[in-house]
Structure 1
Amino acid sequence: MAVQPYLARFAEFVWIWDQMLGFSMPAHHRKMADWLEDCWKSGRREMLLMAFRNSGKSTLVGLFCAWLLYRDADLRILVLAADLDLAKKMVRNVKRVIERHPLMASLLPEKRIDWGSERFTVARTAVLRDPSMQAVGIGGNITGSRADMVICDDVEVPKNSDTAHKRAELREKLSEIAYVLGPKGAQLYVGTPHSYYSIYARDARSEVGESVPFLAGFSRFELPIVNKDGASNWPERFDVAAIEAMRARTPERKFQSQMMLEMVAPVAGMLDPAKLRFYDADAEITQGNGRMTLRIDGRTMVASACHFDPSFGSMRGDGAVVACVYICDQGEYWLHDMAWLRASDPSGLVDQPAHGDRPWRDEASQICAQVADFMARHHLPSLRVETNGIGRFLPNILRRELKTIGWSASVVEHYESVNKATRIEDAFGAVMGAGLLHVHRDICQTPFIRQMRDWHPDGNGPDDGLDAVAGCILHDPVRLPRVDMPIRRADWRGMSGVFRADSLFNP
């Protein structure tokens, strides 16, 4: 009976390599090594390894690739990274391990023909078209490639995750992995989050249309720099003093993202949704003493603002948005509803008449009809229309649509001359800073919250929702809550004026 050769465990494989380099094996490397080996041997082929920056995770994953080839020389490994240079860095590291590790001498080919920094092939029995290991940037072409293991090493970086469009492109490119892997292929993602909408997020982001997280079903290993007890996960290199010094000289959000693995953007946006006050209550209309009263969550509303920022045509750029904000008797703002409007038939030709006996409805009329319905639904007495550009001919169309549905409301025309970024800053800055902006939960299902997280004055991402709400806030007068003065109060000011004193002097 043939004796099976002894195969070292992954932790042993790493320990031997560390000893060769004169290093000791850190405890957290042992934890990661055991987790990777356990996933592989138990058949879990979808893995996510997140660890704090400078934890040596990419180095360890490179050793894991070498260990897999040590166990099966016919394995094909594809390394994807945000750019080709980063992917080549891991391939070079694995190639160096194969050349120097004492357990891998048998994998060195006699003629090192395919033995470069971007791809190499070890001595193997199978005749395969693809190399043992290959490096590709996330934007590279992997069509036609085949792999048994795909390593996604830092595929998410700030430059490809700072806008919704870039994040969508990244997800689309990563979806190509399914066409590269074999039937029992494995995926291993390695990195740190760079966005609240990170591909590594544990929970689905419903506001961007996710029903499940991007890496749903993946086995996860997460190692922040500080554990639950407040101790360092690598005390030999990062003691408490070093961690506090790093925290002091690093922006807080970047530290939380890159060192604590929290799903926040490393660069803080100016509009933080955490400062919003969310509510679920509906608006309640009551009649009494000949007056109508509107209340939300027990508060009486005393004013309203509605802003319509028009836009027609394609889905690219800003859309047509209408927003409704109420102001309560305490001077606080309640963003109750907003809508992104689109004509059902942009050409203006429809099969059925929209109102009355009119045979067709142009795009402007369709959108204005939606705005009129929005105003009636929320009992709004007036609306401000931005008349820049295409908006200058809309007020009369909107008045016509209001008359059609029988809703009496004023339409105020407004030409905007202030820069959009300045308007958004002015509107949201003080209101959010003071915690005065309430937002209905249903608005979380719109692009509004995502636009807040991504917005920056110098950015060029979509901000149509922010602009509409800013219009509501800026064009309503500031209302101060009523303050009842006490009946009696002390007056410390000096006395002045004319006084008359009685004198008993009799000369």
Structure 2
Amino acid sequence: MIKVSFAAFYLVYAEVMNWVVPDFHLDVCDFLEDYGALGLLMMPRGHGKSTILDVYNAWKLYCSPDHLILHQGATDPDAYKVSRGTEQVLERHPLCQIFNIKKARGETQKWWVSGSTDVRHGSIHARGILSNVTGARANEIQNDDVEVPSNIGTPEAREKLLYRLSEQTHILIPGGQKLFVGTPHTHDSLYTRIQKLGAKCLILKMFEKEKRFEQVIEAITDYKPVYIFSGIGTNSKLLKEGTDYCVEQKGNIYLITFDESHYLIDVYSEALWPERFTPQIMEERRRECRTINEWDSQYQLHAKPVGNVRLDPDKMIPYEIEPVLKRANGQHIMLLGERQIVGITMRWDPSSGKLKSDISSVALVLHDDFGVKYWHRSVALTGDVVTHDAHGNIIGGQVWQLCDLIKDFYVTSITIETNGIGNFAPAALKGALKARRIRCGVKEIHSTGAKNKRILEALEGPLVSGLLWVHTSVIDTPEEGENSSRQYKNMRMFNPAVTEQPDDDLDSLAGAVTDSPERVGKIHRQNEVNESPNWRSDGGVVEAALDFEH
């Protein structure tokens, strides 16, 4: 048998099929031929990754009929497409015909090629990622677009997907290979995790170079602008040079001047496959994308959810200073930098007694008289709610940790959400405060109504208006294996339509934000009242002496 490289194998088949092969397809061929033990291939929609995978599987079976491939897609029907595609390549490829490499027996789900000596495990075994493949064995496992909205829409779905992927470790024959192919659909993308595991990666974006601008009439890039889009969705437009904008080159810098201000501008370099994805087609696709996240994830391969993010943590303003308590004119004042703090709220949402909750979350929010809310601390209390010594004295537990926070920030009142825990937590905290000789009011509240609605009503407005700031202690503690903190991740993943999701930090924050009343601040006191002229006549000023007799 004549052994050829995959690139040569692919070009022979492309000649048979009368395909025009772009240069990046050969880069993909070289990558697939030598991606090692773990590989990640990411390409935009419509760039032929599934077609290349069909030919690749045929090439692997052409090189070794005993090679076992487990191909898993999002669902069984998705996986069957590659199974049928591979079968077609074997039937039509000249080298496979010459050496009689073809499907010998089996059905679409599992079949064997001629020359295979394994009677139990198919040469191609195609199943959905959530299907049971516990008894399978494979030299190579392929995960083709297994991350889709239906598989990651809820925490339970994401956990199930990760569990199925972990099962592949036991299916893979020692020394085997594992390949991931697809596009991201969420911030917490599976493909981001694969990169962190040290996978060999080939990531080909629709446009190699990109810059985004908001509310601009001028923009500067360090590359030649080829595609400039305004807006997203049905109102988006591919701008034309000379009509909608002009470009002036100054050395390696390009100054772009628009004929009018645009709320969103994306400036891109040349497309990956310009012959197929013409400017007209790209404008049509841009208009069909409902959100900018959908465009970014499916074409620029950024780890973002396809839909809009209701609570975007990137809209919060970070700060790193601590409040200082000072005494002036016989009064104590608290300052955060140059801002005077006029209120401080703390909300504790205990986890004890609740189903599907493992975080006993505390949120500390500072308030200034400009209406800004400062998310200063977000703490997950650990251990028992309260611990006692042999004499019954309180010596530790979550309430003890709370006392430390109350003392450090001079908190005068704390609100405890009593859902699921009754009066146990407030009573325990009051006992701890007494033992620590700390004066602080304890309020109890039993929350009613939809929690998701409560979170949105409290947080969405301050986020959009720029009135929610966040301390770096909240954002600089990423979870293990994550790029961002637990709080940031939960905000990005928050879905108002999902009832069970990790939202304890958000719930406590929402409570702390709304526990303080809105104030009319300095910004309003600086404005004088605009009084209307008094046009009504009066009787002048009259002096009269009064003499009251007793």
TM-based fold match above 0.5: yes
Question: CA–CA distance in 2 between the matches of 1:145 and 1:159?
Answer: 25
Question: CA–CA distance in 1 between the matches of 2:413 and 2:394?
Answer: 28
Instruction: Calculate the aligned-residue CA RMSD, in Å.
Output: 3.0
| 1:137 alignment partner in structure 2 | 128
Question: CA–CA distance in 1 between the matches of 2:424 and 2:50?
Answer: 59
Tell me the secondary structure at the aligned position of residue 156 of structure 1.
coil
Which of 219, 224, 230 is 2:200 aligned to? 219
Tell me the secondary structure at the aligned position of residue 357 of structure 2.
coil
Question: CA–CA distance in 2 between the matches of 1:219 and 1:306?
Answer: 46
| 1:62 alignment partner in structure 2 | 54
Which of 414, 421, 438 is 1:407 aligned to? 438
Instruction: State, as a whole percentage, how many aligned pairs show the same letter.
Output: 29
* Aligned residues of 1:81 and 1:138 also touching (Cα < 8 A): yes
Normalised by the length of structure 1, the TM-score is 0.84
| 1:177 alignment partner in structure 2 | 168
Which of 462, 474, 480 is 2:514 aligned to? 474
Deviation, structure 1 residue 334 = 0.7
Question: CA–CA distance in 2 between the matches of 1:291 and 1:238?
Answer: 69
Aligned runs of 1:416-495 on 2, under 5 Å?
416-444=447-475, 445=477, 447-460=486-499, 461-483=501-523
Question: CA–CA distance in 2 between the matches of 1:458 and 1:488?
Answer: 46
Deviation, structure 1 residue 359 = 7.6
Question: CA–CA distance in 1 between the matches of 2:333 and 2:522?
Answer: 18
Which of 281, 286, 308 is 1:247 aligned to? 286
* Aligned residues of 2:184 and 2:303 also touching (Cα < 8 A): yes
Question: CA–CA distance in 2 between the matches of 1:171 and 1:394?
Answer: 35
Which of 316, 338, 342 is 1:276 aligned to? 316
Deviation, structure 1 residue 264 = 0.7
| 1:208 alignment partner in structure 2 | none
* Aligned residues of 1:15 and 1:24 also touching (Cα < 8 A): no
Higher strand share: 2
Amino acid at match of 2:107: G
Q: Per-residue displacement from partner, 1:151-184 (whole Å, max 9, x unpaired)?
A: 1111111122233443333223212222222332
Aligned runs of 1:32-43 on 2, under 5 Å?
32-37=28-33, 39=34
Amino acid at match of 2:487: F
Which deviates more from structure 2 when the two are superposed, residues 457-466 or residues 413-422? 413-422
| 1:374 alignment partner in structure 2 | 405
CA 1:268 to 1:125, structure 2 compared with 1: closer, same or farther past 3 Å? closer
| 1:230 alignment partner in structure 2 | 269
Question: CA–CA distance in 1 between the matches of 2:200 and 2:298?
Answer: 20
Deviation, structure 1 residue 225 = 1.7
| 1:398 alignment partner in structure 2 | 429
Question: CA–CA distance in 1 between the matches of 2:111 and 2:527?
Answer: 88
* Aligned residues of 1:275 and 1:432 also touching (Cα < 8 A): yes
| 1:210 alignment partner in structure 2 | none
Which of 118, 124, 142 is 2:115 aligned to? 124
| 1:160 alignment partner in structure 2 | 151
Q: Per-residue displacement from partner, 1:211-240 (whole Å, max 9, x unpaired)?
A: xx6652111111122232522212222112
Tell me the secondary structure at the aligned position of residue 18 of structure 1.
helix
Normalised by the length of structure 2, the TM-score is 0.78
Question: Gaps (5+ residues) in structure 2?
Answer: 210-267, 478-484, 541-550
CA 1:340 to 1:392, structure 2 compared with 1: closer, same or farther past 3 Å? same
Which deviates more from structure 2 when the two are superposed, residues 417-426 or residues 184-193? 417-426
Question: CA–CA distance in 1 between the matches of 2:84 and 2:196?
Answer: 28
Tell me the secondary structure at the aligned position of residue 340 of structure 1.
strand
Question: CA–CA distance in 2 between the matches of 1:124 and 1:149?
Answer: 18
Deviation, structure 1 residue 255 = 1.1
Aligned length: 472
Question: CA–CA distance in 1 between the matches of 2:307 and 2:389?
Answer: 50
Question: CA–CA distance in 2 between the matches of 1:71 and 1:117?
Answer: 21
Question: Gaps (5+ residues) in structure 1?
Answer: 205-212, 502-507
Deviation, structure 1 residue 253 = 0.9
Aligned runs of 1:11-410 on 2, under 5 Å?
11-37=7-33, 39=34, 44-106=36-98, 108=100, 114-124=105-115, 126-127=117-118, 129-201=120-192, 215-228=196-209, 230-250=269-289, 251-287=291-327, 290-313=330-353, 316-317=356-357, 319-344=359-384, 354-355=388-389, 357-358=391-392, 366-388=397-419, 390-392=421-423, 394-410=425-441
Question: CA–CA distance in 2 between the matches of 1:488 and 1:416?
Answer: 41
CA 1:403 to 1:7, structure 2 compared with 1: closer, same or farther past 3 Å? same
